[in-house]
């Protein structure tokens, strides 16, 4: 990299978009250390701050372009991207980080992270503030993020780690922190300056603690971002600064800390195969109800160092602790607990029942504890192990830990302990601890122009400037992140799917009985780089070339609506950053239109007019497709969606999440005529749907059977419920075909994988002489292949977006975009 390269820095953690451009110092040949070092004041080229109340996703790239143009710096001269990691608004931090990840990936430069609070402190240093300084950022929910710093002429030194406290408790926190560092408050105020955007709301709380800095120094600035200490380098591994778990996880801890909180758990399972011969085991946070089981196992494996049940139970409600356990049914197979402090997780206990060893339980438990610790800001793991336990030390070494010293006479029998430390281990999955599915949809031969290809290209294959053969342009990479799947797919100019990669979060949501939006958003940030990297690699293999880079693409497409806003934000921001970095067009795609196009995977020649039934966890609707891009919604649900009803019935039966696959398997063994559940709106004369009444009827039936002391016939309940759903869906679909005169019928969405529904549609369409198209099972749920197929058409139509593209929670199919 040539001397005189630049660093681009930006932050959107709160209500301000801050951007900075700095000059990189003289580099050491063959080293990237020059990129990691902060800029000097003389190296700052230009900075800018713009107020952007809940609008950072729409203005960030415009401001970046403007500042680069003002500085006379081109994208090619950017040696590294620096982004604010927070803490701050969760959405704002993710917009910043996802954009930066996309940028750095496409530019093929390091991505470095800066604490937003450190950046505020460094800007204060550059403005002449000196002494002991408190920076407090607004954490919403009447909370603040406080950090103490010492600032002198040499620079800024952080004294405390990131945390979150109630604004009203901030004075007490400051007092305790100052005592830790020997401040003498009897000699007057121990704080020389207080700054941060928390002062906008809570100036009256902080004013008695010291002098409030000038308001111009409260927000993050481009200058501070360039001066602050940096960390990271790999876009895939850099994560936001979190100071707490999600609300769902915190509430779960409160519940599980109660003595009856873990009894009869039906949901919350994460299934892993320890070995081919092993039964599936479930992993979930440890609960107080199983504290005696932990103590019993402790006495077996820990001897005189065993903990009592009361000590284990006392650990569970603590916010700086995380405990996980492995279960075979309701039998405890192993457990692990950690204490998160000062950026590190100290493993307090870990053990596996001897009867369950060699199933990978300990590795999985460590990875789950590490995942929680990572979400609370930890980057390292430490533990003690007996000096004589060579097998355990070898195991920990395989997990990436190393021997860093000895604690003499540490154990009760005075045996020494070996101290081991290292980076947090990852769960044994492919991407950020998630199940990774590669090319379940795009199963094309390496040479799509071969004569026996099921989707032979219409035009001749060609070589590009890199010498890669068999490539047909435009090549478009599409991203899908509307709910709980992080997915990417590449489609070529002939509409051939060259790759399709999906990272499933289902295990992270199963224990809560449904998708938790906050967790979904966090996991998207963790997975998106790895998913896209694998997608590009898989597409390269399909194209017969050694490498496919972002700059080799012709466009980036992304789902912008509808869906969970926090999840959509990650995909859209990343796609915008990647398209910006690769200097290629950006394409927006409606998720629902993607489900329509999923039928092209199984039936490439399908053409409108047609009727499509969209049935999923969030949607139940009949759509008249007059032409591609011209849609009329003929009817939709007035309450629950079909998938939602399946989940709620499964929950009522104690079957876990997701409910659809479980119900369908049970239904195959039951009598669909056993119970006469209602068919709501079946003869309403319109095409509306209602599932709420059916769900209630099933719940009432279950309660009555239980009150009567009768054992539930689960297969019959499942089969009867499913048949009630199927009857209404098929009846209304046939009415829609009659009304439109269409001779093509298609289905889409996750519930379209239901065997009973598919069989009923096949029978009804055959009877009417209507052609039926259904996506392959792998393409029924959320994936990016369907988004790529929509993008293929939108590219040909020249329908591109600018950098102001934002997400929408709701976007009717009927509205053109």
The arithmetic mean of pLDDT across residues 274-281, rounded, is: 46
Note whether 615 and 757 are same-domain residues. yes
- Same domain? For 405 and 527 the reply is no
Asked if residue 806 belongs to a domain, the reply is: no
Q: Are 472 and 464 in contact (CB under 8 A)?
A: no
Per-residue pLDDT, 259? 66
| 428 found inside a domain | no
pLDDT for res 264: 47
Q: Is residue 560 part of a domain?
A: yes
Residue 448 has pLDDT above 60, yes or no: no
Specify binding-site residues for substrate.
614-618, 647, 660, 754
Q: Is residue 406 located within the same domain as residue 362? A: no
Q: Which residues are annotated as part of the binding site?
A: 591, 595, 614-618, 647, 660, 754, 782
Residues ≥6 apart with Cβ < 8 Å to 793? 628, 629
38 and 128 share one domain: yes
Going by the annotation, the residues of the binding site for Fe cation are 591, 595, 782
Domain match, 387 and 371 both: no
Per the structure, the count of domains in the chain is 5
Q: Which residue has the tokens 């604004």?
A: 167
Chain segment 726-752, per-residue pLDDT in tens = 999 999 999 999 999 999 999 999 999
Instruction: Say if residue 725's pLDDT is above 90.
Output: yes
The whole-angstrom separation of Cα 324 and Cα 13 is 31
Tokens 């990978």 locate to 360
Q: Is residue 792 part of a domain?
A: no
CA distance 187 to 183: 9
Dist CA 472 CA 615 (whole Å): 34
Predicted local confidence at residue 451, as pLDDT: 33
The Cα–Cα gap between 704 and 716 comes to 15
pLDDT for the residue numbered 100: 98
pLDDT at 427: 60
pLDDT attached to residue 374: 86
Domain presence at residue 77: yes
Q: Looking at the predicted structure, is the pLDDT value of residue 278 above 50?
A: no
Secondary element (H or E) of residue 573: helix 565-582
Rounded percentage of the chain residues whose pLDDT exceeds 70: 91
Only one residue has tokens 């959405």, namely 91
Interatomic CA distance for residues 805 and 213, integer angstroms: 36
pLDDT for the residue numbered 27: 53
Q: Taking each helix axis as running N to C, give the angle between helix 56-71 and helix 565-582, from 0 to 180 degrees, rounded to the nearest 10.
A: 20
Q: What is the structure's pLDDT at 485?
A: 95
Report percent pLDDT > 90 for the chain. Answer: 76
Max Cα separation, the chain? 91
What is the predicted pLDDT for the residue at 728? 96
Tokens describing residue 599 = 């039928």
Mean pLDDT computed over every residue of the chain: 89
Q: Can the peptide bond before residue 609 be classed as cis, meaning omega within 30 degrees of 0? A: yes
**pLDDT at residue 91, rounded to an integer:** 93
pLDDT-derived band at 28, boundaries 50, 70, 90: low
Asked if residue 464 belongs to a domain, the reply is yes
Sheet (strand 620-627) strand order? 630-636, 620-627, 610-615, 744-748, 771-773
- Residue 112 sits in a domain of what CATH number? 3.30.420.40
Place of tokens 């997990």: 399
Residue 241 lies in a domain: no
* Same domain flag for 25 and 73: yes
What does the pLDDT read at residue 30?
54
Using the predicted structure, report yes or no on whether residue 484 has a pLDDT greater than 70.
yes
501 SS3 class:
strand
Q: How confident is the model at residue 1 (pLDDT cuts 50, 70, 90)?
A: very low
pLDDT over 60 (residue 518):
yes
Q: Which residues contact 121 (CB under 8 A, 6 or more apart)?
A: 133, 135, 147, 149, 151, 156, 158, 224, 228
Residues 88 and 169 in one domain: yes
- Residues 89-138: tens digit of each pLDDT: 999 999 999 999 999 999 999 999 999 999 999 999 999 999 999 999 99
Among the residue ranges 165-179, 264-278, 661-675, 684-698, the one predicted with the least confidence is 264-278
**How far is Cα 110 from Cα 98, in angstroms, rounded to an integer?**
14
As a whole number, mean pLDDT of residues 412-416 equals 93
User: Both 270 and 368 in a single domain?
Assistant: yes
Is residue 511's pLDDT more than 90?
no
User: Which residue segment(s) compose the domain that 163 sits in?
Assistant: 6-233
Question: Which among 591, 610, 642 is the end of a domain?
Answer: 591
* Number of residues in the chain: 817
User: Sign (positive/negative) of CA torsion 626, 631, 636, 642?
Assistant: positive
* Cα gap 816→582, rounded to integer Å: 28
Q: How confident is the model at residue 44 (pLDDT cuts 50, 70, 90)?
A: very high
Task: Tell me the C-alpha to C-alpha distance, in Å, between residue 258 and each of 287, 384, 392, 532.
Answer: 8, 29, 33, 42
550 plus 535 within the same structural domain: yes
| Confidence at residue 214, expressed as pLDDT on a 0 to 100 scale | 96
Q: Which residue has the tokens 């356990």?
A: 325
Answer yes or no: is pLDDT of 39 > 80.
yes
Does residue 615 come out as left (phi exceeding 0), alpha (psi in the -120 to 50 range) or beta? beta
| Same domain, residue pair 606 and 583 | no
Residue 417: both structure tokens together: 């302990």
Same domain, 419 and 554: no
pLDDT, one tens digit per residue, over 202-222 is 999 999 999 999 999 999 999
- CA count, 13 A, side-chain hemisphere, 256: 26
Dihedral sign, Cα of residue 245, residue 249, residue 251, residue 253: negative
pLDDT tens track for 666-711: 999 999 999 999 999 988 889 999 999 999 999 999 999 999 999 9
**Where a domain ends, among 173, 203, 233?**
233
Same domain, 131 and 190: yes
Top mean pLDDT of 268-277, 290-299, 503-512 is at: 290-299
- What CATH number does residue 259 fall under? 3.40.630.30
pLDDT at 10 over 90: yes
- Assess if residue 742 is contained within a domain: yes
- Of residues 146, 140, 142, 121, the one with CA closest to residue 213: 121
Query: Which of residues 429 and 191 earns the better pLDDT score?
Result: 191
Judged against a pLDDT cut of 50, whether residue 253 lies above it is answered with yes
Q: Alpha helix (H) ranges present in 639-754?
A: 642-652, 659-667, 692-707, 714-740
Position 468 pLDDT exceeds 50: no
């Amino acid at each position: 990299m040539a001397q005189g390269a630049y660093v681009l820095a930006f932050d959107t953690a709160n209500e301000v978009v801050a951007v900075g451009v700095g000059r990189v110092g003289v580099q050491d040949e063959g080293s990237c250390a020059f990129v990691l070092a902060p800029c000097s004041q003389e190296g700052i080229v230009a900075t800018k701050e713009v107020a952007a109340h809940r609008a950072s996703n729409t203005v960030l790239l415009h401001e970046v372009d403007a500042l680069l143009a003002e500085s006379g710096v081109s994208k090619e001269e950017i040696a590294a991207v620096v982004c604010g990691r927070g803490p701050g608004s969760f959405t704002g931090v993710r917009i910043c980080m996802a954009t930066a990840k996309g940028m750095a990936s496409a530019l093929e430069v390091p991505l470095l992270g800066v604490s937003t609070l450190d950046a505020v402190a460094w800007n204060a240093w550059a403005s002449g503030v000196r002494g002991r300084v408190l920076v407090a950022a607004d954490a919403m929910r009447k909370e603040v993020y406080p950090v103490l710093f010492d600032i002198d002429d040499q620079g800024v030194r952080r004294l405390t780690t990131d945390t979150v406290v109630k604004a009203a408790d901030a004075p007490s926190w400051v007092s305790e922190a100052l005592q830790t560092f020997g401040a003498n408050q009897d000699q007057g105020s121990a704080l020389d300056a207080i700054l941060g955007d928390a002062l906008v709301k809570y100036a009256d709380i902080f004013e008695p603690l010291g002098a409030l800095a000038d308001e111009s120094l409260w927000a993050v600035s481009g200058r501070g971002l360039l001066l602050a200490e940096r960390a990271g380098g790999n876009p895939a591994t850099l994560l936001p600064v979190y100071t707490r778990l999600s609300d769902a996880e915190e509430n779960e801890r409160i519940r599980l800390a109660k003595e009856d909180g873990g009894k009869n758990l039906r949901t919350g399972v994460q299934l892993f195969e320890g070995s081919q011969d092993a039964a599936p085991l479930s992993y979930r946070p440890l609960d107080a109800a199983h504290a005696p089981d932990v103590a019993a196992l402790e006495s077996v494996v820990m001897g005189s160092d065993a903990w009592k049940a009361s000590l284990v139970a006392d650990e569970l409600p603590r916010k700086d602790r995380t405990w996980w356990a492995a279960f075979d049914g309701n039998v405890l197979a192993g457990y692990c607990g950690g204490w998160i402090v000062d950026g590190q997780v100290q493993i307090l206990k870990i053990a596996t029942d001897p009867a369950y060893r060699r199933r990978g339980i300990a590795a999985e438990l460590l990875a789950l504890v590490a995942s929680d610790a990572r979400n609370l800001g930890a980057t390292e793991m430490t533990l003690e192990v007996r000096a004589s336990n060579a097998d355990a030390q070898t195991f920990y070494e395989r997990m990436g830990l190393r021997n860093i010293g000895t604690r003499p006479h540490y154990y009760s029998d005075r045996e020494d302990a070996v101290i081991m430390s290292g980076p947090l281990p990852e769960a044994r999955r492919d991407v950020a601890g998630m199940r990774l599915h590669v090319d379940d949809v795009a199963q094309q031969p390496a040479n799509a122009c071969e004569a026996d290809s099921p989707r032979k290209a219409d035009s001749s294959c060609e070589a590009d400037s890199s010498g890669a053969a068999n490539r047909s342009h435009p090549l478009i990479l599409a991203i899908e992140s509307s709910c709980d799947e992080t997915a990417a797919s590449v489609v070529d100019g002939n509409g051939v799917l060259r790759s399709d990669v999906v990272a499933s979060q289902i295990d992270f949501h199963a224990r809560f009985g449904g998708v938790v939006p906050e967790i979904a958003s966090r996991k998207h940030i963790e997975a998106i780089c790895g998913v896209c990297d694998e997608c590009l690699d898989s597409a390269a293999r399909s194209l017969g070339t050694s490498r496919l880079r972002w700059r080799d693409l012709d466009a980036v497409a992304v789902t912008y609506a509808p869906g969970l806003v926090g999840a959509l934000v990650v995909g859209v921001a990343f796609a915008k950053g990647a398209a910006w970095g690769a200097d290629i067009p950006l394409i927006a795609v409606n998720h629902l239109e993607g489900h329509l196009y999923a039928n092209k995977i199984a039936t490439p020649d399908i053409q409108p007019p047609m009727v499509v039934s969209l049935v999923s966890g969030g949607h139940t609707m009949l759509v008249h497709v007059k032409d591609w891009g011209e849609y009329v919604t003929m009817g939709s649900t007035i309450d629950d969606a079909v998938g939602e009803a399946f989940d709620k019935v499964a929950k009522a039966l104690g079957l876990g999440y997701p409910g659809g696959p479980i119900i369908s398997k049970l239904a195959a063994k039951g009598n669909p005529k056993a119970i006469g559940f209602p068919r709501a709106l079946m003869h309403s004369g319109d095409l509306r749907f209602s599932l709420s009444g059916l769900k209630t009827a099933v719940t009432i039936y279950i309660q009555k059977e239980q009150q009567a002391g009768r054992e539930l016939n689960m297969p019959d309940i499942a089969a009867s419920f499913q048949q009630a759903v199927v009857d209404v869906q098929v009846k209304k679909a046939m009415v829609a075909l009659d009304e439109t005169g269409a001779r093509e019928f298609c289905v889409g969405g996750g519930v379209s994988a239901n065997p009973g529904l598919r069989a009923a549609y096949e029978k009804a369409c055959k009877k009417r002489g209507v052609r039926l198209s259904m996506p392959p099972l792998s393409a029924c749920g959320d994936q990016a292949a369907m988004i790529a197929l929509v993008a293929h058409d939108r590219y040909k139509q020249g329908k591109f977006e600018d950098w102001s593209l934002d997400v929408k929670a709701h976007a009717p199919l009927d509205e053109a975009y």
